[in-house]
């Protein structure tokens, strides 16, 4: 669609507002040409969380030694290109998830909370870390948070061991009784991010059209105001506030479109059949969402607990879940390691994309922190300790990277959640079963 000049005069109202616009924080807050790490105001990172089910094969997962991360383990080897931004944390646990189940692996991962044992709608968990973050850093973006998954249909009823399926479906809970649905259909995600328009040109045109409609609505509301009594005019003033807020949102979206290379993705139509294609697409959508500053908090369930997907493309023709009950069978352990490595490889591809995307005075990865891991340690016995946990990115936000934090004793995963939340301005005395913060993850500069 060609936008003629005729459409432009309607935008004058909007243009006038540009001066007061809140630009995305990263660009607006940092003086030009200042090295990020040296500025006093450390930017607040965006937060992402990737969940993988059914633990890992520890021998192939845990890197040698501790402190500086010199050599990656076999399962983590795909992360070599981003090693300097990677922190491996070993010996974390989810105590509240016991007695060990697949359901509480998922539900505890971001909540560190106890899941009420029930088969019906009186479920109860805890507000998850991502949602606490979204309340703090998600309020200025189009979406406060984005919840993604890979298994298309949510399960209904009871799932396992008498737990309602919501515990397995939802990673994110906005309150102890409000599980958030997650979306696996790439097109649905795309539409939440970019609205209806199909091609980038159409999306831009749709944005222009929205602004015109808003202008026209604003003018009509002003006219209406004249007909009303004093009390009712206060109401109309509230509408005018809303109009200005929506204008800011449109402006922000336009700003994003101008300053970032236009996402060169056309609307995805269906769900890709192959796991690899689907996973890459879901990661690409996250990159687009972060790049356009459409959201600053993302959760992604890369596979659901108990899943029986097979991975013949990497030599694992066996379903994941029964294989994970390896009983120390070397063949099965090898296959689990392969699945772990495969999952990590998609994550790594995504991180490399973030690292290659300029953002403010650095890359998108410099300003984004992702936590990756599972709520189960050893899948053969459903335990919730010695969890495979990675933290990546955030070099521009004070994250040290390139290290292996190895706790001597089992330490709550909640400590890590609390540390990341602290970094985005959510200061809690405790979270879940936390008992301390994770030391040395960030440079010792307070935000």
Partner 1 sequence: MKTALPLLLATCVSAHVVAQEDAAPHRQLLDRYCVTCHSDRLETAGLSLEDIDVGNPLEHAEVWEKVVRKLRTGTMPPPNRTPPPIEDSLALRTWLESNLDAAAEMQPFAGRTESLRRLNRTEYQNAIRDLLALDIDGATLLPPDEAGHGFDNVNVGDLSPALLDRYISAAQRVSRLAVGTTLTSVQGDVIRVPADMTQEDHMEGLPIGTRGGVVVSYTFAQDGEYDIQIRLARNRGGFVGGLRQPEDHTLELLIDRERVELFTIEKPPEGDDHARVDEHLKARIEVTAGPHDVGVTFFKRAASLLETERQPLQSHFNETRHPRQTPAVYEMSITGPYNATGATDTPSRRRLFVCEPTQLSQSIEENCAEQILMTVMRRAYRRPVSTDELNGPMEFFREGRAEGDFDVGIGKALSALLMNPSFLFRVESDPEEVADGGVYRISDLELASRLSFFLWSSIPDDELLDAAISGVLSEPDELERQTRRMLADSRSFNLASNFAGQWLRLRNLEAVTPNARLYPDFDDNLRQAFRKETEMFFDSVLREDRSVVDLLSSDYTFLNERLAKHYGIPNIYGSRFRRVSLDPVSKRGGLLRHGSILSVTSYATRTSPVIRGVWVLDNIFGAPPPPPLPNVPSLEENAVAANLPMRERLAAHRTNAVCASCHRTIDPVGFALENFDAIGRWREHEGDNGLMDASGGLPGVGDFVGVSGLEDGLLSRPDLFTGTLAEKLLTFALGRGVEFYDAPAIRKIVRDVESEGYRFSSVILGIVNSVPFQMRNST
Instruction: Kindly identify the residues of this chain, within the stretch 175-194, that bind partner 1 according to CB under 8 A.
Output: 185, 187-188, 191
Cβ at position 178, least distance to partner 1 in Å: 12
Q: Does residue 4 belong to the site contacting partner 1 (CB under 8 A)?
A: yes
Distances in whole angstroms, Cα of residue 40 to Cα of each of 30, 31, 397, 401: 10, 11, 11, 20
For partner 1, the closer CB: 66 or 202: 202
Residue from 39, 91, 136, 160 binding partner 1 (CB under 8 A)? 160
Spatial CA neighbour of 76 closest among 325, 337, 438, 374: 337
Residue from 18, 34, 71, 242 binding partner 1 (CB under 8 A)? 242
Spatial CA neighbour of 405 closest among 382, 430, 436, 428: 436
Q: Does residue 358 belong to the site contacting partner 1 (CB under 8 A)?
A: no
Q: Does residue 317 belong to the site contacting partner 1 (CB under 8 A)?
A: yes
For partner 1, the closer CB: 248 or 406: 248
Tell me the window of 76-84, 198-206, 346-354, 377-385 that interacts with partner 1 (CB under 8 A).
Answer: 198-206
**Which residues, at least 6 apart from 444, have a Cβ–Cβ distance to it below 8 Å?**
none
Report residue 267 as tokens.
């609307």
For partner 1, the closer CB: 2 or 408: 2
Question: Binding string to partner 1 for residues 76 to 105, with x set by CB under 8 A, is what?
Answer: ------------------------------
Spatial CA neighbour of 72 closest among 387, 349, 84: 84
Residue from 16, 81, 162, 315 binding partner 1 (CB under 8 A)? 162
Q: Does residue 139 belong to the site contacting partner 1 (CB under 8 A)?
A: no
C-beta of residue 277 within 8 angstroms of C-beta of residue 82 = no
**CB atoms < 10 A from the CB of 300, how many?**
25
Residue from 101, 307, 341, 348 binding partner 1 (CB under 8 A)? 307
Q: Does residue 198 belong to the site contacting partner 1 (CB under 8 A)?
A: yes
Cβ at position 441, least distance to partner 1 in Å: 35
Cβ at position 266, least distance to partner 1 in Å: 8
C-beta of residue 41 within 8 angstroms of C-beta of residue 34 = no
Pairing mode, strands 158-160 and 389-393: unpaired
Spatial CA neighbour of 49 closest among 420, 443, 435: 420
Please give the size of the binding site for partner 1, defined by CB under 8 A: 77
Count helices and strands (H / E) in the chain. 13, 12
Residue 253: strand, helix, or coil: helix
What residues pair up with 363 in beta bridges, in sequence order?
358
Q: Which parts of 201-240 interact with partner 1 (CB under 8 A)? A: 202, 206, 209-210, 212-214, 216-217, 219-221, 224, 227-229, 231-232, 235-236, 238-239
For partner 1, the closer CB: 248 or 400: 248
Residue from 38, 153, 258, 331 binding partner 1 (CB under 8 A)? 153
Q: Does residue 116 belong to the site contacting partner 1 (CB under 8 A)?
A: no
C-beta of residue 382 within 8 angstroms of C-beta of residue 68 = no
Q: How far apart (Å, rounded) are the C-alpha atoms in residues 386 and 379?
A: 11
Q: Does residue 446 belong to the site contacting partner 1 (CB under 8 A)?
A: no
Report residue 4 as tokens.
């003629």
């Amino acid at each position: 669609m060609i936008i003629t000049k005729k459409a432009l005069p309607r935008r004058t109202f909007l243009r006038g507002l540009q001066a007061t616009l809140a630009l995305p924080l990263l660009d607006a807050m940092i003086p030009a040409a200042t090295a990020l790490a040296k500025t006093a105001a450390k930017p607040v990172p965006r937060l992402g969380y990737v969940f993988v089910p059914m633990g890992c094969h520890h021998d192939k997962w845990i890197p040698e030694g501790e402190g500086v991360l010199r050599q990656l383990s076999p399962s983590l080897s795909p992360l070599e290109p981003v090693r300097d931004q990677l922190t491996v944390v070993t010996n974390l646990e989810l105590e509240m998830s016991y007695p060990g189940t697949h359901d509480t692996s998922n539900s505890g991962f971001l909540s560190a909370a106890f899941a009420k044992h029930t088969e019906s709608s009186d479920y109860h968990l805890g507000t998850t870390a991502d949602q606490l973050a979204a309340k703090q850093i998600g309020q200025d973006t189009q979406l406060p948070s984005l919840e993604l998954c890979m298994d298309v249909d949510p399960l209904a009823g009871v799932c396992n061991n008498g737990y309602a399926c919501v515990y397995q479906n939802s990673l994110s809970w906005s309150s102890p009784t409000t599980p958030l649905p997650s979306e696996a259909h790439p097109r649905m995600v795309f539409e939440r991010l970019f609205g209806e328009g199909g091609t980038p040109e159409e999306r831009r045109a749709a944005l222009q059209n929205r602004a015109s409609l808003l202008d026209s609505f604003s003018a009509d509301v002003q006219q209406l105001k004249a007909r009303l009594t004093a009390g009712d005019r206060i109401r109309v003033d509230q509408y005018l506030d809303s109009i200005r807020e929506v204008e800011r949102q449109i402006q922000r979206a336009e700003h994003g479109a101008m300053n970032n290379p236009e996402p060169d993705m056309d609307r995805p139509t269906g769900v890709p059949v192959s796991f690899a294609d689907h996973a890459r697409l879901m990661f690409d959508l996250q990159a687009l969402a972060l790049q356009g500053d459409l959201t600053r908090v993302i959760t992604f369930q890369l596979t659901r607990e108990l899943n029986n997907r097979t991975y013949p493309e990497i030599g694992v023709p066996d379903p994941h879940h029964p294989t994970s009950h390896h009983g120390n069978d070397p063949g099965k352990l090898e296959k689990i390691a392969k699945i772990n490595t495969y999952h990590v490889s998609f994550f790594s591809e995504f991180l490399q994309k973030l690292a290659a995307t300029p953002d403010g005075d650095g890359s998108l990865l410099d300003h984004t922190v992702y936590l990756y891991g599972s709520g189960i340690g050893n899948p053969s016995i459903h335990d919730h300790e010695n969890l495979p946990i990675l933290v990546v990115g955030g070099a521009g936000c004070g994250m040290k990277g390139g290290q292996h934090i190895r706790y001597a004793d089992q330490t709550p995963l909640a400590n890590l959640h609390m540390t990341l939340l602290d970094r985005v301005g959510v200061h809690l005395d405790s979270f879940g079963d936390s008992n301390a913060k994770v030391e040395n993850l960030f440079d010792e500069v307070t935000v």
